[in-house]
Amino acid sequence: MRFQNIFQQILLILALSLIQTAGQVWAQEETTIEPPERIVTEDFSTEATDTRLLSPWLNTENGFTATPVYFGEVFTNAHGGIGTKHATQYEGLLDLALSFDFQKMELPIPGRATILFENTHGRGLNPYVGATQITSNIDSLDNITQISELWWELDLFDEAVTFRIGRQDLSTEFISMETASDFINSAFGLSPSAGLPSFPAPSSAAMAMINLSPSLKFRTGVWDAFRTDERGTFSQNGSILFISEFEYRYTMSQNQLPGIISFGMTYETPGEIPDGVIPRAFGYYLQIEQMIYREADSTDDNPQGLSLFAQHYPTNTDGRSPFPEIPEDGLAGIVYRGLLRGRDEDVAGAGLGWVKLTEGGTDEEFMVELFYKAKINSTLSVQPDIQYINTPSGIYPNALVVGLRVQLDL
């Protein structure tokens, strides 16, 4: 991204900072439902205790937080797909998130801001496997060095409403499941049917998050739908994405088993790119996450036990798209946290992904993934992974992919 683009977005943020943060106190709904702890792979919160490598140089109380995370992985296509010759590759991703709390920094600007720098290097397996559900969620296809996110957010009405504007990855807040966050295949991070502005090409957006009650949240936003040109703040294809999502969190009080149900809708306006006309598109999705067994001695901060998840996302387009169409997909899986004695923070998972296709062949693709993520210490995690893809993209021989990922929370 050019400095001119960064300057334009900073000017936009400063202009919007003149919005006055007044309003009445939002009444909190009384309920006996306890929302479960949010389990995420990456935590950009300035309130979290920082015990990582850079913690001696950081002080979260002054309003500045740096969160560097490195992912490195070696994967091989052991069988099938497009080809197995030279099909062992290394790929890496460096994330550096910088968060600024302007109130703690005692600046005359309300709210908070986040900048996410990303660099990918190496090569993924997609040229050897040919799967629609790309085997790694850090595979950017072409290597990138960029500012992936640059946004400003403001809390209103005693934090009942949060407004965010700037360059954003849609999957940070929409169409994602916490229970599935440790899987490596990209399908578990953002539905393949979506085709929406996410890694590696987020886009400019404005969104609002509303706490309707302690257990019910509503999110809505508008995005630049298809990011095709890095030289401007907005693309020139004219396609706009509207998305809304309800999220309901609950706990089965007798057994303290948390669950999440999410329902959302997407609508994309028509646009035009050099390859053709982007058609009007509508979609909806349903996601369910449920813990079904909890170990007796586990804590709310680290609930150990077995959880299930599932997702379904059908879409409908009004005309022929210049992109490969994925009219429907589904996900399901199980995750066990703390499976082995004395390994309370390790995660084991098994998941299945399916996509319906329209490019010929079998017109569908199935994927199965198994993994075990071992947390060695507060900095290092190691994750062996195996994936079996049945008819990649509906046209290639069944593929077997195996590999190892290392995660460093610096």
Note the pLDDT tens digit of each residue in 35-94: 444 434 344 433 444 555 555 455 667 899 999 999 999 999 999 999 999 999 999 999
- Identify the pLDDT of residue 161: 98
Report how far residue 243's alpha carbon sits from residue 263's, in angstroms, rounded to the nearest whole number: 11
Domain boundaries, the chain: 3-409
| Low-confidence winner among 21-25, 282-286, 345-349 (lowest mean pLDDT) | 21-25
Q: What is the DSSP string of 82-109?
A: S--TT-EEEEEEEEEEEEEETTTTT-S-
pLDDT at 21 over 80: no
Distances (CA, A) of 356 to 113, 234, 307, 334, 361: 39, 31, 26, 22, 11
- Identify the pLDDT of residue 41: 39
Distances (CA, A) of 394 to 76, 190, 191: 20, 20, 18
CB 267 within 8 A of CB 286: no
Mean of pLDDT over the chain? 84
**Phi then psi for 299, rounded to 5 degrees?**
-105, 165
Handedness of CA 130, 135, 137, 143 (dihedral sign): negative
**Phi then psi for 85, rounded to 5 degrees?**
-70, 130
- Identify the pLDDT of residue 33: 40
Helix (H, G, I), strand (E, B) or coil at 32: coil
- Helix (DSSP H) and strand (DSSP E) numbers for the chain: 2, 18
Domain spanning 3-409: CATH superfamily: Carbohydrate-selective porin OprB (2.40.160.180)
The β-bridge partners of 116 are 97, 149
CB 72 within 8 A of CB 405: yes
- Furthest-apart CA atoms within the chain: distance in Å: 65
Higher per-residue pLDDT: 36 or 373? 373
Q: Mean pLDDT across the stretch 315-343?
A: 85
Q: What are the structure tokens assigned to 237, written together?
A: 């294809």
pLDDT at 285 over 70: yes
pLDDT at 182 over 90: yes
CA dihedral 46, 52, 56, 61 (to 10 degrees): 10
Chain centre distance of CA 266: 16
**DSSP code at position 19:** S
pLDDT at 230 over 60: no
| Low-confidence winner among 21-35, 263-277, 331-345 (lowest mean pLDDT) | 21-35
Question: If we measure between CA atoms, which residue out of 119, 122, 77, 114 comes closest to residue 97?
Answer: 114
Higher per-residue pLDDT: 33 or 356? 356
Give pairs for 343-349: CB < 8 Å, separation 24+: 343/374, 343/375, 344/298, 344/302, 344/304, 345/302, 345/375, 346/372, 346/373, 346/374, 346/375, 347/182, 347/371, 347/372, 347/373, 348/372, 348/373, 349/180, 349/182, 349/183, 349/373
**% of the chain at pLDDT higher than 90:** 64
Question: If we measure between CA atoms, which residue out of 393, 326, 403 comes closest to residue 369?
Answer: 403
pTM score of the predicted model: 0.82
pLDDT at 234 over 70: no
Q: What is the DSSP string of 233-289?
A: SS-SS--EEEEEEEEEEEEETTTTEEEEEEEEEEEE--EEETTEEEPEEEEEEEEEE
Q: Mean pLDDT across the stretch 169-196?
A: 86
pLDDT at 99 over 80: yes
- Identify the pLDDT of residue 111: 96
Report how far residue 5's alpha carbon sits from residue 227's, in angstroms, rounded to the nearest whole number: 14
Question: Which pLDDT band holds residue 236 (cuts at 50, 70, 90)?
Answer: low
